[in-house]
Structure 1
Amino acid sequence: MTNSKFDAFVQQQNSNEDNSVFDPKKQLDEWFEYLDLLYKNITSFMKTYLDKNQAEISYDNITLTEDFSGSYEIRRMLLKIGRSTITFTPIGTMLIGAKGRVNVQGPSGGARLILMNENVTTASQLITVRVSKPGEAPPALPKAKDINWAWKIMPFAPQRDFIDLTEESFLEMILTVAKS
């Protein structure tokens, strides 16, 4: 390696081209916004039943602790339908392959809601192999700011396809976790 290559490397590392300095507060603010959007979608999906007093939504606060931010308070949603209560418990943000996760638990089982790249439909798409020739930089990965994040249902094994969160898929998920 020549000094000029190293000089270029040092200059690149010290340039202001990439202002992607990690900001924990910004990360948490985004997480809260996406979680709020999820809760609004759930409320919309349940509107008919809420309006008829056949279902009820309430919230309580829980404390999460993550390495990047320490402890923080976050809302957990509780959906009550008759004798069944389904909880939507945030697990965290900045997960491998996802920007956030919410566990769904009902009397008959559980499910997971994952905030992930809207273009990902299977777990295998989360694996990326990059190949380059010696002396060449590997192809760049997409930056998080270029990803459109969407809530998806992540079934338990053996199925590993992610299901787009729609009113129909949501109601089907509720039937799975709440039906006795």
Structure 2
Amino acid sequence: MKIIPTTIPDVLIIEPKVFGDERGFFMETWNQQTFTEAGLDFKFVQDNHSRSRQGILRGLHYQIKNPQGKLVRVTQGCVYDVAVDLRRSSPTFGQWTAVELSAENHRLFWVPPGFAHGFYVMSESADFQYKCTNLYAPEHERCVRWNDPNLNIPWPLVQGEAPQLSAKDALGALLPEAEVFA
């Protein structure tokens, strides 16, 4: 596998080896030994799978207690995936990085604990799968507003239309008022 650094050192793009021919393809998306040998020693406790229509934006989510690291990928469709550093002690606090994930590019995106995470569906629909290092704890879930001017994320909105949000995501906090990590 190939590990590609992003503008935030702890967030990584991972390109697995893909073996394909006229019948299709095969790839390993997780192998504890391979990842550990590459210096990526994660322990996962939960797998999730969501499907969303075009124009849906989910995020920017995080858990203030029991923070989750997430290894994310898209198995159908295409999304714009974003990680925002919410670790106040980090030199990259308040900065974000993004990657396009698709079924075609097979990329994985490592979003460590201490980051807000969100994605926007650019294709007709997308199946989004991710492994988590901690269990979901809804009482500790928080959200930073997707269009926070402090972040100025250039979401690739289809036809420039506002994304569809959950009621919870529409009420996300602005970064200066958000509960963040030490």
TM-score for both structures, normalised by structure 2: 0.26
Q: From the two aligned structures, give the one with the greater helix fraction.
A: 1
Larger radius of gyration between Structure 1 and Structure 2: 1
Higher relative contact order (CA 8 A, sep 6+): 2
